[in-house]
Structure 1
Amino acid sequence: MIRPATPADQSAIQACAEQAYARYIPLIGRKPAPMLADYASQIATGWVHVALDEQASLQGFIVFYPHDNHMLLENVAVLPSAAGRGIGKALINLCESRARQLGLNAVQLYTNERMTDNLGLYPRLGYVEVARRSEDGFNRVYFEKKLGPTR
């Protein structure tokens, strides 16, 4: 089940981010941006959705919001213990569906260039690399997926 996050989810979301991104610290040389995010304020704005298992335990989360004429997918993370079950894809599908509902024509996202798994994953989901740049001390790769009408 995927639902909007509530303040009660904050500690589980933070723990998920810590677990999902910890392996990148040695590659990047510091904590990735999602480990430093202010999840309390993102939850308060309604930007965060959580994926739960049958026991209502958090398995992953996504942060997205409308920005200009597209949806910005800021963060998607899945617990390492839940990886490979389609949770991340389901969360991304939710983001794309909400973008279509709002009449937005694309989803944009970025990832760190050292997160090489992501550099292969997003193109398989229909995302195209559109830019590379350094921001906030991170070398980021930007992707975009153009959205057609809902089928």
Structure 2
Amino acid sequence: MQFELRIAGPGDLAAIQDIIESAYTPYVSCIGRKPGPLLDDYEALVISCRVTVAEVDHAVQGVLVLIPEEDVMLLDNVAVAPAAQGLGLGRKLIAHAEQCAKVAGYPAIRLYTNEAMTRNIEYYARIGYVETHRAEEKGLKRVFMVKPLT
């Protein structure tokens, strides 16, 4: 299996949208509406070089969106195609996000997820993210987490 991470280009847009759709559509029924990642403008994110893709055997199978903020790096989104789940791509993408944040000089990386995504919350806690608070944003009940990078 050949694995590569790279900044996404316009030619990756269809694959990115397919991965996001397959990763987040199952949550629509438990949340009661589309999760935030289904509403994002991936074309704009790709153009602004905020998206990294994971290729497995030359096919895009994972997506990472990082947004630099004033004091911390935001891990805005990480998603893996159903066919590639279980290969460790999600963990590799998160490790890459954390390394990018360190290299950029951030002391921490943060993320948020919907409170209905309990498996994600448990996973993030296992890998060192700590819940800071819960809040409703854009009509979505979110759990905010942070991980120090020192």
- TM-based fold match above 0.5: yes
- Percent identity, aligned pairs only? 45
Length-normalised TM-score, structure 1: 0.95
Q: Deviations over 1:67-93 (max 9, x none)?
A: 011100100000122112110111111
What is aligned with 2:102? Answer: 100
What is aligned with 2:87? Answer: 85
Q: How does 1:22-41 map to 2 (within 5 A)?
A: 22-41=25-44
Letter in 2 for 1:73: L
Distance in 2 (CA, whole Å) between partners of 1:97 and 1:25 is: 31
Letter in 2 for 1:48: V
Distance in 2 (CA, whole Å) between partners of 1:36 and 1:45 is: 17
What is aligned with 1:112? Answer: 114
CA RMSD of aligned residues (A): 0.7
Deviation at 1:47, TM superposition (A): 0.5
Distance in 2 (CA, whole Å) between partners of 1:68 and 1:85 is: 33
Distance in 1 (CA, whole Å) between partners of 2:99 and 2:124 is: 16
Stretches of structure 2 lacking an aligned partner (at least 5 in a row): none
Instruction: Say how many residue pairs are matched.
Output: 147
Instruction: Say whether 1:5 aligns with 2:8.
Output: yes
Distance in 1 (CA, whole Å) between partners of 2:79 and 2:89 is: 9
Length-normalised TM-score, structure 2: 0.96
Q: Segments of 4+ in structure 1 off by > 6 A?
A: none
Letter in 2 for 1:46: C
Deviation at 1:35, TM superposition (A): 1.0
Distance in 2 (CA, whole Å) between partners of 1:65 and 1:42 is: 9
What is aligned with 1:128? Answer: 130
Aligned match for 1:145, one of 134, 138, 147 = 147
